[in-house]
Structure 1
Amino acid sequence: MSTAPAPCEGAISLHRNDLPDGLAFTGSVAVDTETMGLNPHRDRLCLVQLSAGDGTAHLVQIIPHSMGGTGYDCPNLKRVLADPDVTKIMHFARFDVAILQHALGITVSPVVCTKIAARLVRTFTDRHGLAALCRDMLGVELSKHQQTSDWGALALKPEQLTYAASDVLYLHALWAKMDDLLAREGRRELAQACFDFLPARARLDLLGYEDPDIFSHRG
């Protein structure tokens, strides 16, 4: 088992307010978010991480108007996330899709989710977190020390940027492993149906239908 190397110089590009003009993603892009908390209605979106799977992470810092930024006015980022020809690879996409759709006013699709895939095929374990999957399937150790740090700060610390980048740098490799397992276990079609439902599941969550669950027989 290896320890994830610190991204080499130039592997992390921090962009304030939006992706730069001319930066394009084709085929697929790994996506993650950092927020002030886990309530999309209360907690603001602070950072969106993207990677083409090429060892480079692009981090878009969403800066509110009150702090001198442009807020959620980020047309280049919105264009990538809503592009129907670019598959967004996420881990726990249910939350990321919800916060992105709520904050940016877009539909995030198409999406695949490594956590849903893991739950469908790794039924021999309850370890479906990103760190556990990277360790078990890629031999990579991810540090989670910055997970609960202050992502709303105007000046993010280098260790925060490294942490945020690590959440997308390995998603392409992880998804490739998961896709093979889904095919092996005959659950690729079922997984795709789950992935296709994610934008609607996120809208239900935003409307408050996480509890009560409208699919439950209870009540």
Structure 2
Amino acid sequence: MTIHVHEGDLPEGALAGGVIAVDTEAMGLNPHRDRLCVVQLSAGDGVCHLVRFEPATYDAPVLSRLLADPAVLKLFHFGRFDIAMIRHYLGVTCRPVYCTKIASRLARTFTDRHGLKDLCRDLLGVDITKTQQTSDWGAPQLTEAQQLYAASDVLYLHRLRDALDAMLAREGRSDLAQSCFDFLPTRAELDLRGWPDFDIFAH
């Protein structure tokens, strides 16, 4: 594993490829209150790029272009949150997207364990730690433990996608999953505009 930490934006040419794993770290779970601190990315090659933001400094043209590029598939785990954070702070709507949590919920109906740690253990035989999940991501410098945690959130998403795609195809749910992925940016926009919990499809 190789980790590169960048301040405020990606360097030009840092990432190439048609499929990029993406995750975010923030000061909390409310996009309107809790600022975006880190965006981590990987092309699935064992290299992770961490982009760290100071408060109110979200002018990141290279990163924004990558996240908005329609030719690049963005892989997330629980993309609903990350897509909303990126939309709110970087002004970018991520498309196209894939969410391993949604894929797992559709394919692995025999379990209620769909967290990233669960998927890595069950599908890849990899044990990742989540001990830094609630650490201070707004600190002036990222600790080595934070860097390793952030990297682990994106380094396995490509392999998880492959495993989940096979399960979705086997169960005849690939098209259903794709429809859910296509709707994710809209679901994130609903969260930002005030419908985070209300089911607009209910009677």
TM-score band w.r.t. shorter chain: over 0.9
Match of 1:196 in 2: 182
1:107 aligns with 2:98: no
* % same residue: 64
What letter corresponds to residue 167 of structure 1 in structure 2?
D
- Provide TM-score, normalisation by structure 1: 0.91
Distance 2:131 2:197 in 1: 30
Shift of 1:198: 0.6
Distance 2:43 2:195 in 1: 33
CA contact (8 A) 1:25 1:86 kept: no
Partner of 2:68: 82
Report deviation, 1:21.
1.6
Counterpart of 1:37 (choices 28, 31, 38) is 28
Higher gyration radius (CA): 1
1:177, distance to aligned residue in structure 2 (A)? 0.3
- Matched with 2:166 is 180
The unaligned stretches of length 5 or more in structure 1 are: 1-6, 66-70
1:10-33 deviation per Cα after TM superposition (whole angstroms, max 9, x unaligned): x00001110002223221000000
What does residue 168 of structure 1 align with? Answer: 154
Offset of residue 208 of structure 1: 1.2
Structure 2: distance between partners of 1:154 and 1:166: 21
Q: Give CA-to-partner distance per residue, 1:82-115, whole Å, 9 cap, x none.
A: 1000000100001110111111111111000000
Aligned amino acid, residue 55 of structure 1: G
8 A Cα contact 2:20 2:43, kept in partner: yes
Does the 8 A contact of 1:90 with 1:112 survive in 2? yes
Matched, 1:97 2:88: no
Normalised TM-score (structure 2): 0.98
Give the 3 Å change call, closer, same or farther, for CA 24–56 of structure 1 in structure 2: closer
Q: How many residues align?
A: 203
Unpaired stretches in structure 2, ≥5 consecutive residues: none
Output the CA distance in 2 between the equivalents of 1:161 and 1:169.
12
Correspondence for 1:3: none
- Contact 2:35 2:55 survives alignment (8 Å): no
Take 1:150 and 1:212, find their aligned partners in 2: how far apart are those partners? 30
What is the CA-CA distance between 1:63 and the residue it aligns to?
1.5
TM-superposition CA deviations, 1:27-84 (whole Å, max 9, x none)? 100000000000001000000000000000000001125xxxxx11000000111100
- Shift of residue 206 of structure 1? 0.6
Aligned residue identity for 2:98: V
Task: Compute the RMSD of aligned alpha carbons.
Answer: 0.9
What does residue 68 of structure 1 align with?
Answer: none
Q: Which residue in 1 is equivalent to 2:120?
A: 134
1:53 aligns with 2:39: no
Distance 1:186 1:202 in 2: 26
Deviates more, 1:56-65 or 1:189-198: 56-65
